[in-house]
């Protein structure tokens, strides 16, 4: 029996240094489960309590990974709550379990409106957006100078995600203050997808604070424009946020019971910093925590508690992929037969069943089945007719690659010149999340003669070798998920997510077609679906089954449907808390 692994909860993944790189790959929700969050007449007041597994790592997104930045900040645009379930009154175009990056699901935040051209975007700032009433800003109005200054830091600072990840875009784009309420960004048309993706990653900070202190990387400088402002931070213990009485937002869902209400409903919210899984589960079980995220094994008991609702989801922190150095001639991984043999040696169904109690996902790279990109995904059941000749006279389907076939794997290795197999070193982050599954994979590969040698390293080493492409042979890494599918960065280009160093003319052509079609989601997804059989046939990324996660919440949490973040990588910032209310009387009547 494969040992069931303990999986770090999603928000912990976003905030822990040890898992930050793994989550650069992107996240998405696949909602299902018992019950729906209720709408009804909203109630003002009260506080919500949630948990994370570690302290915030950055308070300034120009100094660290964009998704690790914690605090009460906002971007120019973000996700539109009304496009999700919205308590049963929304458009239900996205579950908002974790992210969506579709332009048709965005709405203005600090920018009230925007105009998008082929090589520019113009933002018209929302009148009267104010900084939190904290020294030194004291409720001053956000200016175009603040916006330009914030974006320029992303474009120019060597530590900023935009500068590091898209240096050519950073060099080619220009940011201009048109007037006191208008900011324009120009960029090459071919980089529109990259540029518009980055808008969700770039928080707007007060220029005056940065000029005074040098940066925002201190909780005492956590001055933003968001729904809640930071009231107190006790390292290793709690964060407490209070309602921003000057927030600009009103309830956006027309013809709902809350239509036009001033937001937020809550007086504030608490965040417990608690790394111990057992303690996390206990705090939720006794009602001290209102919303909880955990793996499917831990959720087995919690989801059946009276008054608990839940949904399940899949995302890239739940499943690693084996990547390999296809660019080194002295290694065997340039041969597709070797790559296919490795995939055929893995019993994905066994991993899904025994690691995750049957709640595992077999096909998830480079996208998985989620409403936001459903038409870009091709399920295994539709890959049965995509036939490939793996050896002369021997044909299988692409779907067959994901069902274990030891005999065929050995034949492929022999045909590639490795009848006795070979030794292979794999770089693995020394974290239980990864070790349980890779140990199981190691045993499976041994059956075809591949001796997997685990090189376990600390986070800094693991991330550096992944990001710089200096790992020696195999690597157990994450990847960029559904929101960036159209850029093809998992299998093309020079970025860290193309960890197998793929330079395949067929895939490059598909990538170029998708970028040319941007932002037409229908066309982009159709092109991606057409590409999927070929990409999977090539086995540039070896899939090892992934787990479903659960988001659970108590019945007294109202107008909530499991939303994890409204927009692209918005799981830390409390956008969703603006719309939630808490029925304290119901909570008391339930005995909590």
pLDDT tens column, 107-129: 999 999 999 999 999 999 999 99
Stretch among 46-55, 148-157, 219-228, 429-438 having the lowest mean pLDDT = 429-438
Mean pLDDT for all residues in the chain: 89
Q: Where are the domains positioned within the chain?
A: 10-314+549-589, 319-547
pLDDT category of residue 29 using cuts at 50, 70 and 90: very low
Over residues 185-192, the mean pLDDT reads 93
Query: Has residue 16 got a pLDDT over 70?
Result: no
Q: How does pLDDT run across 398-423, given as a tens digit for each residue? A: 999 999 999 999 999 999 999 999 99
Q: Given its phi and psi angles, is residue 421 left (phi above 0), alpha (psi -120 to 50 degrees) or beta? A: left
CA distance 98 to 201: 15
Q: What is the pLDDT of residue 585?
A: 95
The tokens describing 216, both together, are 């925002």
Sheet of 111-116: strand order equals: 111-116, 120-125, 182-186, 174-179
Q: How does pLDDT run across 256-311, given as a tens digit for each residue? A: 999 999 999 999 999 999 989 899 999 999 999 999 999 888 899 999 999 999 99
pLDDT category of residue 483 using cuts at 50, 70 and 90: confident
Query: Has residue 28 got a pLDDT over 50?
Result: no
Over residues 145-160, the mean pLDDT reads 96
Residue identified by tokens 């928000």 is 11
**Are 266 and 46 a contacting pair, CB within 8 Å?**
yes
Query: Has residue 103 got a pLDDT over 50?
Result: yes
Query: Global pTM?
Result: 0.84
Q: What is the CATH number of domain 10-314+549-589?
A: 3.40.190.10
Q: CA 481: distance to chain centroid?
A: 7
In sequence order, what are the residues at sequence separation of 6 or more whose Cβ sits closer than 8 angstroms to the Cβ of residue 365? 319, 321, 479, 490, 541, 543
Q: How many CB atoms lie within 10 A of CB 207?
A: 18
Q: What is the pLDDT of residue 358?
A: 86
The residue that leads in pLDDT, 181 or 166, is 181
CA distance 532 to 519: 20
Q: What is the pLDDT of residue 26?
A: 37
Query: Has residue 582 got a pLDDT over 90?
Result: yes
pLDDT category of residue 213 using cuts at 50, 70 and 90: very high
Query: Has residue 222 got a pLDDT over 80?
Result: yes
**Homologous superfamily of 319-547 in CATH?**
Dipeptide-binding Protein; Domain 3 (3.10.105.10)
Taken as a whole, the chain contains a residue count of: 592
């Amino acid at each position: 029996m494969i040992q069931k692994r303990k999986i770090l909860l999603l928000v912990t993944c976003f905030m822990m240094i040890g898992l930050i790189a793994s989550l650069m790959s992107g996240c998405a929700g696949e909602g299902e489960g018992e019950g729906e969050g209720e709408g009804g007449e909203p109630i003002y007041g009260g506080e919500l309590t949630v948990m994370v597994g570690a302290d915030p790592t950055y308070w300034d997104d120009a100094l660290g990974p964009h998704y690790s930045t914690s605090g009460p900040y906002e971007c120019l645009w973000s996700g539109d709550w009304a496009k999700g379930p919205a308590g049963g009154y929304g458009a239900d175009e996205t579950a908002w379990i974790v992210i969506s990056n579709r332009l048709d699901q965005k709405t203005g935040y600090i920018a009230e409106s925007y105009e998008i051209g082929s090589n520019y975007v113009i933002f018209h700032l929302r009148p009267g957006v104010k900084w939190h009433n904290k020294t030194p800003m004291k409720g001053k109005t956000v200016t175009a100078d603040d916006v330009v200054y914030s974006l320029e830091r992303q474009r120019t600072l060597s530590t900023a995600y935009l500068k590091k990840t898209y240096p050519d875009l950073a060099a080619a784009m220009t940011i201009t203050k048109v007037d006191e309420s208008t900011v324009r960004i120009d960029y090459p048309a071919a980089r529109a997808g990259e540029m518009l993706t980055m808008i969700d990653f770039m928080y707007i900070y007060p220029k005056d604070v940065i000029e005074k202190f040098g940066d925002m990387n201190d909780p005492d400088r956590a001055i933003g424009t968001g729904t809640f402002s930071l009231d107190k931070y006790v390292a290793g213990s709690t964060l407490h946020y209070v309602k921003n009485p000057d927030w600009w937002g009103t309830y956006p869902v027309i013809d709902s019971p809350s239509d036009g209400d001033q937001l937020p409903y809550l007086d504030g919210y608490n965040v417990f910093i608690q790394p111990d899984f057992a303690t996390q589960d206990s705090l939720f079980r006794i009602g001290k925590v209102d919303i909880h995220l955990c793996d499917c094994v831990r959720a087995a008991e919690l989801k059946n508690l009276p008054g608990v609702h839940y949904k399940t989801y899949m995302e890239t922190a739940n499943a690693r992929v084996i990547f390999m150095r296809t660019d080194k001639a002295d290694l065997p991984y340039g041969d597709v037969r070797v790559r296919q043999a490795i995939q055929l040696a893995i019993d994905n169904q066994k991993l899904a069943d025994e690691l995750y109690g049957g709640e595992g996902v077999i096909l998830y790279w480079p996208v998985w089945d989620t409403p936001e990109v459903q038409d870009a995904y091709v399920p295994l059941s539709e890959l049965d007719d995509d036939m490939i000749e793996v050896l002369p006279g021997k044909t299988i389907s692409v779907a067959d690659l994901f069902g274990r076939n030891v005999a065929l794997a050995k034949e492929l290795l022999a045909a590639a010149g490795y009848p006795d197999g070979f030794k292979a070193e794999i770089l693995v982050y020394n974290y239980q999340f990864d070790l349980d599954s890779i140990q199981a994979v190691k045993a499976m590969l041994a059956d075809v003669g591949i001796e997997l040698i685990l090189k376990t390293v600390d986070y800094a080493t693991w991330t550096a070798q992944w990001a710089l492409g200096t790992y020696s042979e195999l690597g157990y890494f994450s990847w960029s998920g559904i929101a960036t599918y159209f850029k093809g960065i998992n299998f093309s280009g020079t970025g860290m997510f193309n960890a197998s160093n793929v330079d395949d003319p067929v895939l490059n052509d598909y990538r170029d077609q998708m970028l040319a079609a941007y932002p037409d989601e229908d066309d982009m997804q159709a092109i991606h679906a057409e590409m999927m059989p070929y990409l999977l046939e090539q086995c540039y990324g070896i899939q090892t089954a992934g787990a479903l996660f659960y988001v659970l919440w108590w019945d007294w949490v109202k107008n909530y449907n499991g939303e994890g973040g409204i927009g692209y990588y918005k799981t830390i910032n409390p956008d969703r808390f603006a719309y939630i209310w808490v029925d304290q009387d119901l909570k008391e009547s339930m005995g909590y």
